[in-house]
Structure 1
Amino acid sequence: MPDWSYHGIFKPLLFKLPPTISREFIHKGMNSIASLPFGIGPRIINFLGREESSILIRQEIHGIDFPNPVGLSGKIDPLLSGTRAFTNLGFGFIEIGPISMEMTEKFTSPIVDQANQKISFPPKIESIGIEETVKKIRKLKKKQPIFFRLSGNYHEVVYMLKKLDSYADGFILEANFKETIKQTNKPLFLVTSLVNEEIIDSPFSGLLLEHSFEEGSLVEKIKSLRKMGYHGTIIASGGIYEPEQALQALDSGANLIMLTDGYIFAGPGLPKRINEALVDRSSIRPSPQAGWFAYWLFGLSILIGGIIAFILSITTIILPYDEIFLNMKRQTIWAFNDRIMLFMAHDRMTLAGTMISGGVVYMQLAKHGVKWGLKWAKQAIDIAAIIGFLGIFAFIGFGYFDWLHLLFWLILLPFYLYGLYKTRGIRGTPASKNRRNDRIYKRGIYGQLAFVLLGFSFVLGGVIISFIGVTSIFVSTDLAYICMPKEMLQEFNENLLPVLAHDRAGFGSALLSVGLLVLTMSLWGVQQGNRWVWLTYLIGGLPAFYAGLYIHFAIGYTTFIHLLPAYIAFVLFLIGLILTYSFFRKQY
């Protein structure tokens, strides 16, 4: 669940429910998505949240490979109802537990203090017991290291160690049973919230240092441990609500960090934000990626094609090969019913504006994303381009194959294929200047939600318009504007309907393709400080909205219900631009 949906939709509702009910509701829902067959679930989660980690922040500790240093505390999911989902949310490791021998039958609910952003977890642990834990872990597809946190007396802990050893990368113990070290060759970590000499001399592989509101700053504790000469691994748990606090903990000497209540209040996007901040701090900068210019030329060709189509839509409207197919001159159509020509101009100008906007976005993604090795930018281009190429088949839904469109795609294809081949090894992940949960960040989240809704609306609109184009061709307001039923148009010229269907399906296909560009950029490309993304929205959006709204008023097709989707989309566009302006432009 990305932050734009968590803060913008779910969090206000979830915080009104009892903590355990809201927790299980959201965890089970996420788990259901993650469990969809054929790998569909993880792909959906990745599409919505884009959680891969950069190789720049990968590290090895105790022989364990951590994709990144950000983990999730088991206190967030004590019943393991969402563990399958959490493995797909970009964490570098996951804690499971505390685990007890038997299932906990009675426990107090966590207490959520929204004012102070604090969760008081129950003193008596929630646990499904060791046997049920093993059953669930057996079904888990492991994607990152897993640490098991064990609670109980010495004999219980030893039993659980042996039971879980084959699934574990490490263990976290709540009690100082030094003898347990001999029971496993996996690293053992001792839970503590105190800093003293006994801890310094601990024989364990490391410490899980827990944050406590009553016992002072976690960062100061980490510093104290290092000053006192502690050389073991430190996992800092809790007290991290924003990327800056995570960076401070790591800079102070923590090797790993583990999110607890901060994950609930800041949102599920917190690990991604921390990872992007770590990449941003890296001294390694990518080199220009070969093949990006082919993608840029691909976008430029679409832009030029859109400009040509725009000029034609305000001049001749239809081309000589249209007249050949119709076996009729444009003057005859003007004389029969001028609104037929105006309606064609309406479809063709909106297509032209959409093409110009799409060309701009393609070029921006190529220059600022693909050039610098960003995998998400390449995949955004690939998804939209492939759908655009396939859209040519929608043109023949009513039997009119446009050879000019085919020629246009044949010109575009070499640029795209060359770019696709040369950039096939791209693996880069984004960086972000975001460090704080300040007002600018929160406004940016709601702006991102507006852009995501805009992208979804374009995609949905493209699908609907394409479907209409290859089936009924018109909606009721279209026929009301033309002032003729389909039968009369068919009787006037039997080839007219295929041409109109071609225009409608072509525009729908283009809108779908550009909608995917907007959607993927909104889902994957919103990182603080990326000014080029905001400019891409602005410069890329204006041609489509100008052409789409201008032509309707120019030809007098101003039916409110027909233009309502365009009005809503334009409002979302303005909201997104306003709310994300400072977010994209502010540098920390």
Structure 2
Amino acid sequence: MPDWSYHGIFRPLLNILPPNVSRELIHRGMSFIATLPFQIGPQVIHFLGREENSPLIQKNNHGLTFHNSVGLSGKIDPFLSGTRAFTNLGFGFLEIGPVTAKQTTHFTTPIVDRKAEAIQFPAKVESVGIEKTIDHLHKVKKKQPLFVRLSGTYEELSFMIKRLEQFADGYIIESSFPVLIQETNKPIFFSTVPPSESLIDSSFAGIVLEHTEKDIRLHEKVKKLRNNGYKGTIITSGGIKEPEQAIQLLDAGADFIMLSDGYVFAGPGLTKRINEALLDRLDYSPPQLHGWFAYWLFGLFIMIGGLLALLFSMTTVVLPYDELFLGMKRESIMTFNERIMLFMAHDRMTLAGTMISGGIVYMQLAKHGVKHGLKWAKQAIDIAAIIGFLGIFAFIGFGYFDWLHFVFWLVLLPVYIYGYMKSIGVTGTPSSKNRKNDVIFRRGLFGQLAFVLLGFSFVLGGIIISTIGMTTIFVPTDLAYICMPAEMMNTFNENLLPVLAHDRAGFGSALISVGLLVLMLSLWGFQQGNRWVWWTYLIGGLPAFWAGIYIHFAIGYTTFIHLLPAYIALGLYFIGLILSYTFFNKTEARH
């Protein structure tokens, strides 16, 4: 669940429910998606959130590889109902528990202070017990180290360690039993609230410092331990609501950090934001790839094709090969029904605007994304381009094969393949200037939501238009505008409907492809400080909206219900531009 959906859609609804009900609802819902068959669930989660990490922030500790330094506290998921989802959300490690030998008979509802953005977790240890924990862990497809927090007597701890050896990569205990290190070859960390000086010579692998609301200066505790010579691993738990606080702790000497209540209030994207901020501080510039220019040319050719299509739609409308297929000149169609020609201009101009916009977005993704090694930008181009190429099959069902379109397809294909092959090695992940949960960040989330909805609406609209083009060709408002049923047009010229179907399905296919570009740019490219993304939206969106709305007024096809989707899309476009402007163009914090 990305932040744009969490804050913009789900959190207001979840706040109405009791804390334990909303927690289980969202955890079980995410786990259901994560466990869909054939890896569909993880792919959906990855598509919406892209939680991959750069190797530059990877860590190795105690023989374990951590993709990043950010973990999730077990306090967030006491019933382990969300563990299968959390493994897919980009964490470097997960804490399981606390686990006790026996199940707790009564579970306390956490107290949520929404104003202070704090959660008071149960004071006493509450657990589903060792047996249920093992049942849950059997179902988890582990993608990162798991640290199991244990609570109990020495005998109980020893017993649970033996039972959990096949699942745990390390243990966190709340009682000082150094002798337990003889029970396992895996690291054991001692959890403590006030760090005692005696821990400096501890035989434990490290310590877990617990954050409390009464003492918010957790980073100073970490710094004091390091200054006093403590060499063990330091893990902090809680005290992080925004990336800046995570950076403070890591700079002070913490090896790893665990998110707790701050994760609930900041949103599930906090992990990703921290990792992007850490990468941003490295100021790493990946080597430029040669394949980006081929992708840029691919976009340029599409834009040029769109400009030519725009020219034709504003002048002759019907091209010579159209007339050859129809067996008549454009004047004959005009004499029969002028509005048929205007309707063709309507479809062809909207296609032209969509192509111009798509070409601009392709060029921007190539220049600012692929050129700088961003894997998401390459994948966005690949997905949209392949869908676009396949779109040629959407408009041949009625028997009209557009040779000019096919030649254009043949020109684009080798350019795309060259760019694809030369950029196969792209592995870079994005960085971000975002450090605070300030007004810039909050507005940006709603701007992102608007653009995501815009991308989804384009894809859905393209599917609907393509389907109509391959089946009925017209909607009722089309026939009302033309003032003629399809049967009469077919009687006039049996090749006329295939040409109109070709135009309609071709536009729908292009809209799907461009919609995917907008959607993926909105899902994957929303990092603070990415000015080029905002300008891509602005410049890339104008041709499609101008052509799509202008032509309707130019030909008098202004039926409100027909234009309503375009008006809604235009509204989302402007809302997204306004709300995301400061997010992309300014980096200083505002509270």
Q: TM-score, normalised by structure 1?
A: 0.99
Are the counterparts in 2 of residues 107 and 124 from structure 1 also a CA contact under 8 Å?
no
Aligned partner of 1:297 in structure 2 is: 297
Structure 2: how far apart are the matches of 1:528 and 1:25? 31
Aligned partner of 1:210 in structure 2 is: 210
Structure 2: how far apart are the matches of 1:141 and 1:348? 50
* Equivalent position amino acid for 1:128 in 2: V
Tell me the CA shift for residue 328 of structure 1.
0.7
Structure 1 residues 139-188: Cα deviation after superposition (integer angstroms, max 9, x where no partner): 21110011000011110010011111121111000111111111111011
* Equivalent position amino acid for 1:576 in 2: G
Are the counterparts in 2 of residues 353 and 547 from structure 1 also a CA contact under 8 Å?
yes
Tell me the CA shift for residue 347 of structure 1.
0.1
Is 1:25 matched with 2:25?
yes
Are the counterparts in 1 of residues 216 and 239 from structure 2 also a CA contact under 8 Å?
no
Is 1:182 matched with 2:153?
no
Are the counterparts in 1 of residues 101 and 129 from structure 2 also a CA contact under 8 Å?
yes
Aligned partner of 1:157 in structure 2 is: 157
Structure 1 residues 436-483: Cα deviation after superposition (integer angstroms, max 9, x where no partner): 000000000000000000000000000000000000000000000000
Structure 2: how far apart are the matches of 1:47 and 1:585? 26
Structure 2: how far apart are the matches of 1:332 and 1:215? 84
Structure 2: how far apart are the matches of 1:337 and 1:430? 54
Structure 1 residues 31-75: Cα deviation after superposition (integer angstroms, max 9, x where no partner): 000000011100000000110011110010111100000000011
Aligned partner of 2:381 in structure 1 is: 381
Is 1:101 matched with 2:101?
yes
CA RMSD of aligned residues (A): 0.7
Are the counterparts in 2 of residues 306 and 355 from structure 1 also a CA contact under 8 Å?
yes
* Equivalent position amino acid for 1:469 in 2: G
Structure 1 residues 211-245: Cα deviation after superposition (integer angstroms, max 9, x where no partner): 11113411111111112211111001101000000
Structure 2: how far apart are the matches of 1:278 and 1:197? 30
* Equivalent position amino acid for 2:70 in 1: V
Structure 1: how far apart are the matches of 2:15 and 2:8? 13
Structure 1 residues 512-549: Cα deviation after superposition (integer angstroms, max 9, x where no partner): 00000000000000000000000000000000000000
Tell me the CA shift for residue 395 of structure 1.
1.2
Aligned partner of 2:573 in structure 1 is: 573
Report 1:537-548 matches (<5 A).
Answer: 537-548=537-548
Aligned partner of 2:453 in structure 1 is: 453
Are the counterparts in 2 of residues 195 and 224 from structure 1 also a CA contact under 8 Å?
no
* Equivalent position amino acid for 1:535 in 2: W
Structure 2: how far apart are the matches of 1:200 and 1:70? 24
Report 1:471-490 matches (<5 A).
Answer: 471-490=471-490
* Equivalent position amino acid for 2:491 in 1: E
Tell me the CA shift for residue 199 of structure 1.
2.2
Structure 2: how far apart are the matches of 1:209 and 1:289? 44
Tell me the CA shift for residue 107 of structure 1.
2.3
Aligned partner of 2:356 in structure 1 is: 356
Aligned partner of 2:406 in structure 1 is: 406
Aligned partner of 1:60 in structure 2 is: 60
* Equivalent position amino acid for 1:243 in 2: P
Aligned partner of 2:310 in structure 1 is: 310
Structure 2: how far apart are the matches of 1:529 and 1:122? 40
Q: Which runs of 5+ in 1 are unaligned?
A: none
Tell me the CA shift for residue 201 of structure 1.
2.5
Tell me the CA shift for residue 269 of structure 1.
0.1
Report 1:151-300 matches (<5 A).
Answer: 151-300=151-300
Are the counterparts in 2 of residues 59 and 67 from structure 1 also a CA contact under 8 Å?
yes
Report 1:105-124 matches (<5 A).
Answer: 105-124=105-124
Structure 1: how far apart are the matches of 2:56 and 2:171? 26
Tell me the CA shift for residue 123 of structure 1.
1.6
SS in 1 for 2:576: helix
Are the counterparts in 2 of residues 462 and 509 from structure 1 also a CA contact under 8 Å?
yes
Structure 1: how far apart are the matches of 2:242 and 2:84? 24
Q: Does the C-alpha gap of structure 1 residues 524 and 481 become closer, same or farther in structure 2, counting only changes over 3 Å?
A: same
Are the counterparts in 2 of residues 277 and 435 from structure 1 also a CA contact under 8 Å?
yes
Aligned partner of 2:371 in structure 1 is: 371
* Equivalent position amino acid for 2:447 in 1: G
Farther off after superposition, 216-225 or 300-309:
216-225
Structure 2: how far apart are the matches of 1:114 and 1:203? 40
* Equivalent position amino acid for 1:210 in 2: E
Farther off after superposition, 447-456 or 206-215:
206-215
Are the counterparts in 2 of residues 397 and 469 from structure 1 also a CA contact under 8 Å?
no
Is 1:562 matched with 2:562?
yes
Equivalent residue pairs, number? 588
Identity of matched residues, % = 70
Aligned partner of 2:347 in structure 1 is: 347
Tell me the CA shift for residue 124 of structure 1.
2.5
Aligned partner of 1:338 in structure 2 is: 338
Structure 1 residues 354-408: Cα deviation after superposition (integer angstroms, max 9, x where no partner): 0000000000000000001100000000000000000000111211111111100
SS in 2 for 1:167: coil
